[in-house]
Amino acid sequence: MLEKLEQVKAKYEELGRLMSDPDVISNPAQLQKHARAHAALEEIVSTYDHYREVLNELSEDKKMLEEEKDPEFSELLQTEIKRLTEEKEQLEKRLKVLLLPKDPNDEKNIIMEIRAGAGGDEAALFAGDLFRMYQRYAEKKRWKTEIISSHPTELGGFKEIIFLIEGQGVYSQLKFESGVHRVQRIPTTESGGRIHTSTATVAVLPEAEEVDIDIKPDDLRIDIFCSSGPGGQSVNTTYSAVRITHLPTGLVVSCQDEKSQLKNKEKALKVLRARLLDIAQAQQEGEMAEKRRAQVGSGDRSERIRTYNVPQNRVTDHRIGLTLHHLDRVLMGDLDEIIDELITTDQAERLKNMEA
């Protein structure tokens, strides 16, 4: 581990030198690339520097203890050695986690797609609740959200809503949200007080930059049409809505939320790039990626990663066996406890696999 840490420190220092190179400074794209790489290594290097300080202090205290004759001072040294030993062990654990191979998408923004699954109007309402939950979580993190495309229902839900979340490390925090989410509650339209079960699917895609995915203009068919609202009624008479078909894959993306045709086209291309990147990465990663992508499933009630039980104010994440009894807070965007546990479990599994 120490050899790997020294390599990381050397790389960090080399990137620091490159960032002050006049040739790099005059090239904004290259400077930004080096700055991102430098920032990504900063926590490892600072933790390693602290670890070395602790090792040095521990070594000096042990030497002093061997030579010390005063019992009272020896006792102080032993207490300090115990504290430093515990800190050393904690830092070693932290460094092992920091050295785990990073997901190259972790620092990317995301495009999140939420679709109503089983349950009719109630499923669409639940899709709206999930959208607002993630929107509030993003606000708490000081991230920016922007709706790309939406198909609202007359009752205030969404058949589908696609939106962008921009901020530091968004994908690393939300990548485990992909899958089927299930809600159990009494609909407002239910006079008998019976609990209904509905589902919505969530897909989390890292935003693809133009350098990640090269889309050829000849591979696109772009159709322009009038925007429509809930129930299919026309909401304006201008041809601002855009539908883009990627001919090689058959992927279709439409966007009508903006009044500007150009803005709708830009948003649709963002979604298309993200989906194409997801397909490309699935092909590269093989079976593991296919397993991750399959988590979204069909939206059937039996396929779920998380259950939101409203009458009992309970939420359960079935992958990690975590149950919380404050669903009301979770729906208000208080997701940290669930997300932190998912990240910790993933890190523990990867550490175990690395040490096996």
Q: What is the CATH number of the domain that holds 36?
A: 1.20.58
Q: Which of 236, 249, 106 is nearest to 171 (CA)?
A: 106
Q: What dihedral angle (degrees, nearest 10) is formed by the CA atoms of 276, 279, 283, 285?
A: 110
Domain that holds residue 62: 2-98
Does 195 lie in the same domain as 276? yes
Query: Are the beta carbons of 217 and 246 closer than 8 angstroms?
Result: no
268 pLDDT exceeds 70? yes
Does 356 lie in the same domain as 246? yes
Does 158 lie in the same domain as 62? no
Q: How many CA atoms lie within 13 A of 114 on its CB side?
A: 27
pLDDT confidence tier of residue 133, bands split at 50, 70 and 90: very high
Does 156 lie in the same domain as 12? no
pTM for the structure as a whole: 0.72
Does 206 lie in the same domain as 116? yes
User: What whole-number distance in Å separates Cα of residue 24 and Cα of residue 186?
Assistant: 60
Q: Which of 28-42, 68-82, 96-110, 185-199 has the lowest mean pLDDT?
A: 185-199
Which residue among 76, 98, 120 closes a domain?
A: 98
Does 130 lie in the same domain as 93? no
pLDDT of residue 323: 97
Which residue among 52, 75, 98 closes a domain?
A: 98
| Residue 309: strand pairing partners | 184, 314
Does 174 lie in the same domain as 90? no
| CATH number of the domain that residue 241 is part of | 3.30.70.1660
Does 163 lie in the same domain as 233? yes
Which residue among 79, 98, 117 closes a domain?
A: 98
| Domain count along the chain | 2
pLDDT tens readout for residues 201-255: 999 999 887 656 778 888 889 888 876 655 544 445 567 888 899 998 899 998 8
Does 14 lie in the same domain as 92? yes
Cβ atoms within 10 Å of 264's Cβ, excluding its own: 24
Does 115 lie in the same domain as 202? yes
Does 118 lie in the same domain as 137? yes
Does 120 lie in the same domain as 51? no
